C-alpha cells in the first residue's frame, strides 16, 4: 500500500471510486477537482503497490482542509472490494499527522448517523460525537459531527492501533 498526495492524474480514478456510494451522495469530478486545486487542502490517494513497491491501482482517496486551528476531514472513499483492509485508517492517520503538523488543534468530520461502520471506525480512532446536523444529507438522514482533539495526542499511538502510517 502506498499513500501519496493525489495529483490531477488521479482524478478519473478517484471519481470512479464514487460509484460505490448512493447516487445522491457521490462527489463528481468538479468537486474532487476543486479539492485538488485548493491550497488549504490535503488530498491523499491510496494505491496498491507492486512487488517492487511501486504504486499501481488506485483504491482510495481522502481529502482534508485546514481552516485556522481546525482541520476538517471532507471525504474518505475506498473501493468496495478493498474496504476493511486498513486503507481508510492509514489515510486518516496520515491526514491527522498533516493537520497537527500544520498547527491544527482539532479535526472535525461529519458522518451519516446510520452508517454504523463509519461511526465505529472514527470512534476507534478516538473521535467523539459533539453534535448532530439534522436532515444534513436528506430528510431523515442526519450527520453526526465528530471531533478529535489533536493537542497532546500521541499520533504514533493512533497509527499503532491499526496499520503503519505512511509518511
Work out how many domains the chain is built from and give that number. Answer: 1
Res. 95 pLDDT band, cuts 50 70 90: very high
* Alpha carbon separation from 49 to 52, 121, 164 (Å, rounded): 8, 24, 15
Residue 52 pLDDT > 80: no
Q: Which cell numbers hold the place of 112? A: 451519516
Report, as an integer, the average pLDDT of 77-87: 86
Residue 105 counted as domain residue:
yes
User: Dihedral angle at the C-alpha atoms of 110, 111, 112, 113, nearest 10 degrees?
Assistant: -100
Task: Return the minimum-mean-pLDDT range out of 6-15, 31-40, 148-157.
Answer: 148-157
Strand order in the sheet with 128-138: 2-5, 41-49, 55-67, 70-78, 106-112, 141-149, 128-138
pLDDT of residue 160: 43
Residue 100 counted as domain residue:
yes
- Return the percentage of the chain with pLDDT > 90, whole number: 64
Residue-wise pLDDT for 128-161, tens only, equals 999 999 988 888 889 999 999 999 888 777 654 4
Residue 125 counted as domain residue:
yes
Residue 107 counted as domain residue:
yes
Report, as an integer, the average pLDDT of 36-46: 95
Q: Give me the domain span that covers residue 123.
A: 2-160
Residue 165 counted as domain residue:
no
Residue-wise pLDDT for 99-118, tens only, equals 999 999 999 999 999 999 99
Residue 122 counted as domain residue:
yes
For position 144, which CATH number holds?
3.40.630.30
pTM score, whole prediction? 0.86
pLDDT of residue 139: 87
Residue 63 counted as domain residue:
yes
pLDDT of residue 154: 80
Provide the β-strand partners of residue 63: 43, 75
Residue 33 counted as domain residue:
yes
Amino acid at each position: 500500500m502506498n499513500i501519496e498526495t493525489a495529483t490531477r492524474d488521479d482524478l478519473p480514478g478517484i471519481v470512479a471510486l464514487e460509484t460505490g456510494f448512493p447516487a445522491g451522495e457521490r462527489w463528481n469530478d468538479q468537486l474532487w477537482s476543486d479539492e485538488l486545486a485548493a491550497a488549504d487542502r490535503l488530498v491523499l490517494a491510496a494505491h496498491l503497490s507492486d512487488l517492487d513497491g511501486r504504486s499501481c491501482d488506485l483504491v482510495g482517496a481522502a481529502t482534508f482542509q485546514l481552516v485556522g486551528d481546525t482541520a476538517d476531514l471532507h471525504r474518505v472513499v475506498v473501493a468496495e472490494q478493498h474496504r476493511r483492509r486498513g486503507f481508510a485508517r492509514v489515510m486518516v492517520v496520515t491526514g491527522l499527522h498533516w493537520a497537527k503538523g500544520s498547527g491544527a488543534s482539532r479535526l472535525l468530520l461529519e458522518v451519516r448517523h446510520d452508517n454504523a461502520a463509519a461511526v465505529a471506525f472514527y470512534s476507534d480512532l478516538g473521535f467523539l460525537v459533539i453534535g448532530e446536523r439534522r436532515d444534513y444529507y436528506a430528510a431523515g438522514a442526519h450527520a453526526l459531527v465528530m471531533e478529535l482533539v489533536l493537542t497532546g495526542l500521541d499520533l504514533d499511538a493512533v497509527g499503532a492501533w491499526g496499520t503503519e502510517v505512511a509518511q
